[in-house]
Structure 1
Amino acid sequence: MIQELYQKAMRYAGEKHAHQTVPGTKANYLLHISNVTMEVIIAHKMDPCFDLGFAVEMAILHDTIEDTDASWEEIREIFGEGVADGVQALTKNQTIESKSEQLVDSLNRIKQLDKEVGLVKLADRITNLQAPPNEWSNEKITKYQVEATLILHELNESNVYLSARLQKKINEYSKYIKE
């Protein structure tokens, strides 16, 4: 059942991200994870054309390899190879120097997998397009908005509902550019 998948993945993510906060806040990182998962669940309610359990597991675990000591092997052992492959694709390759090239590399890997991986990336960026940290410059805010546009362009066929949500968030994000 989906509830068991959710609880198992959330417990694992909660332990792995235990000391991490949402950048620019004091909020525990599980806030971000639960927001991404909520976007996935609502997208499924709007159009149930994807494997919700698979997508929820990846939504909850999407940052574990990138931000914690979790490994692909550990995630495969606990959650299965499909989830581990999806989480790995959602993880930036830190051996690539340029952040923009890291994003392109990740998007290319995501597009080779099931649509659930792409829709988790859409949900992740939707969630990240909330108010940026106060210390972000206009240049960084604009760059983040441009990256979101690239994500939308590359993954827009993953989910119609989430693509429309991301486009709306991209449009609204301009309000954070300081004059």
Structure 2
Amino acid sequence: MEKYQPTLKNWSQEKYIQAYKFAAHAHQGQNIPGSDIPYIMHLSFVSMEAIAALSAEKELSTEKKYDGNLAVQCALLHDTIEDTNITFAEIEAEFGTSVAQGVLALTKDQSIAKHFQMEDSLKRIKQQPPEIWMVKLADRISNLQSPPHYWTKEKKICYREEAISIYETLKDASSFLALRLANKIEDYKAFIL
């Protein structure tokens, strides 16, 4: 029996499942902040945004070629170093250097002052392939939902301004995600009024 080899996508379900299982195990017991929803839902949303962008970008442009596996795996793993006990070395051993470097770039450096962390992270993301930029865009799209009830107006304003910075820095990675993020930023105003 001949194996089916799809040509319409540039990522593999097996690599997705490998990363999903790894992330689910790493984030086991964690919830999305301010909710009782398991954290794996956030990672699912980010990977869904990345997959939609890979599909849309393939239709929009024949010039750009993306490594879909890099985008999807980093989308699922992007918070493992930052929010769990998983190390760079563990990700590198399981998924390779490119994925591990992407996840590390997406990880905030807790050793520097909080108000410099996003700027530092964006600088490191910019040194990575555009697939990593796409993950950061997808992450903020996913996060621009109704903010936790305990956030102050100032926190919401800062979060939206941070989203604008992400948009301006990384928008060239994907016109699809850039438009999605721009719309989410506009809609987020409703939570600040």
Report the AA paired with residue 102 of structure 1.
Answer: Q
**CA RMSD, Structure 1 to Structure 2 (Å):** 0.9
1:84-134 superposed Cα distances (whole Å, 9 cap, x missing partner) = 00000000000002x231101010000011000001000000000000001
Match of 1:76 in 2: 92
Give the Cα–Cα distance (whole angstroms) in 2 for the partners of residues 77 and 100 of structure 1. 32
Q: What number of residue pairs does the alignment pair up? A: 177
Question: What does 1:1-179 correspond to in 2, within 5 Å?
Answer: 2-48=12-58, 49-97=65-113, 99-178=114-193
| Structure 1 residue 19, shift from structure 2 partner | 1.1
Report the AA paired with residue 78 of structure 2.
Answer: H
Tell me the secondary structure at the aligned position of residue 156 of structure 1: helix
Structure 1, unmatched stretches of 5+, are none
Tell me the secondary structure at the aligned position of residue 110 of structure 2: coil
Relative to the length of structure 1, the TM-score reads: 0.97
Report the AA paired with residue 161 of structure 1.
Answer: F
Relative to the length of structure 2, the TM-score reads: 0.90
Give the Cα–Cα distance (whole angstroms) in 1 for the partners of residues 126 and 16 of structure 2. 24
| Structure 1 residue 153, shift from structure 2 partner | 0.7
| Structure 1 residue 45, shift from structure 2 partner | 1.2
Tell me the secondary structure at the aligned position of residue 173 of structure 2: coil
| Structure 1 residue 152, shift from structure 2 partner | 0.5
Give the Cα–Cα distance (whole angstroms) in 2 for the partners of residues 133 and 56 of structure 1. 27
Give the Cα–Cα distance (whole angstroms) in 2 for the partners of residues 176 and 23 of structure 1. 17
Find the structure with the greater CA-based Rg: 2
Q: Percent identity?
A: 45
1:13-46 superposed Cα distances (whole Å, 9 cap, x missing partner) = 0000001100111000010000000000101111
| Structure 1 residue 65, shift from structure 2 partner | 0.2
4+ long deviations beyond 6 Å = none
Give the Cα–Cα distance (whole angstroms) in 1 for the partners of residues 54 and 22 of structure 2. 23
